[in-house]
Amino acid sequence: MKNQPIGFLDSGVGGLTVVKEVMKRLPNEQIYYIGDSARNPYGPRPLEEVKEFTLQLAEFLVERGIKLLVIACNTATVAALEVLENELPVPVIGVIESGSKAAVEVSRNKNIGVIGTEGTIRSHDYEHQISNLLKDAKIQSVACPRFVSIVEKHQYQDDLAKQVVSEELSPFEGSKIDTLVLGCTHYPLLQTIIQNHFGRDLTLVDPGVET
Ligand code: DGL
């Protein structure tokens, strides 16, 4: 088992931000990655459909002998973590639990922002997990559906990206958040632009790094 690969899945390239961290910290591990670019994005789809797709990707990786599965996608974690934990013959790790824990550890004023896909934000999973860990946390969640296509199209360093980031993050204007969870594995590629938008006082949490 020691020599078997670790499997990662996502709807596209976003999960590679998680793989990058693993390659830094566990350089001897063999990695299998599947990004479902054919059916990207997952964010706007009904969670039942995302669950079905995620099961297909997971089975594909299990058939190839992975020893552990990392769901390197927040939307797929919301949709399928529980069923995969119950049904797969290997351990399964999602990204939402560790992202929530890190946000609670980092925030000083207990005002925490979460950004993610429509599916992740609609599920309120981050809100539930953060409030379970920190009862009086004030959480503001915002869906940023346009970020994923910018990353998939490799436009994340363009001026267009700056404009889209400032438009999508406008609901946070005047907000007191001191911490923001990047609740989609595509978003770390926009990290610099997001950080510049808010300024240095805001701490960004990347659940992929935590995972
Ligand atoms: N990278 C994914 C996530 O973390 C999904 C992006 C999408 O397909 O909408 O939620």
Catalytic one of 73, 103, 143, 151: 73
Structure tokens at 15: 């999960």
Cβ(113)–Cβ(140) below 8 Å:
yes
Q: Which residues line ligand 1 (CB under 6 A)?
A: 10-12, 14, 40-43, 73-75, 117, 120, 148, 184-186
Mutate to test the pocket of ligand 1, among 148, 151, 153 (most ligand atoms within 8 A of CB): 148
Q: Which of these, 204, 205, 188, 210, lies nearest to 17 by C-alpha position?
A: 188
Q: How far apart are the first and last CA of the chain?
A: 21
Is 184 marked active-site?
yes
Residue 146 CA, ligand 1 centroid: distance in Å: 11
| DSSP state, residue 55 | H
Distance 43 CA to ligand 1 centre (A): 6
CA 24 to ligand 1 centroid distance, Å: 22
Q: Where are the alpha helices (DSSP H) in 88-190?
A: 96-106, 118-123, 125-133, 146-152, 159-168
Residues 6+ apart with CB under 8 A from 184: 14, 43, 73, 74, 75, 115, 116, 117, 120, 144, 147, 148
Q: What is the pLDDT of residue 2?
A: 83
Cis peptide before 41 (omega within 30 of 0): yes
Ligand 1 atom nearest to CA at 73: 4
Report the C-alpha gap between 42 and 12 in whole angstroms: 9
What pairing do the DSSP bridges indicate for beta strands 31-35 and 6-10? parallel
Q: Is the pTM of this model over 0.85?
A: yes
Q: How confident is the model at residue 99, as a pLDDT?
A: 96
Which residue's alpha carbon is at the smallest distance from atom 2 of ligand 1?
73
The Cα 209–Cα 102 span in angstroms is 10
Which residue's CA is the closest to the ligand 1 atom numbered 9?
Answer: 43
**Catalytic, out of 130, 184, 193, 205:** 184
What is the Å distance from ligand 1's center to 25 Cα? 23
Helical segments of the chain, H only: 16-25, 47-63, 74-87, 96-106, 118-123, 125-133, 146-152, 159-168, 191-198, 207-210
Asked if 149 contacts 9 with a C-beta cutoff of 8 angstroms, the reply is no
Give the model's pLDDT for residue 51: 98
**Chunked mean pLDDT (size 10), the chain, 211 residues:** 93 95 95 97 98 98 98 98 98 97 98 98 98 98 96 93 97 97 97 97 95 93
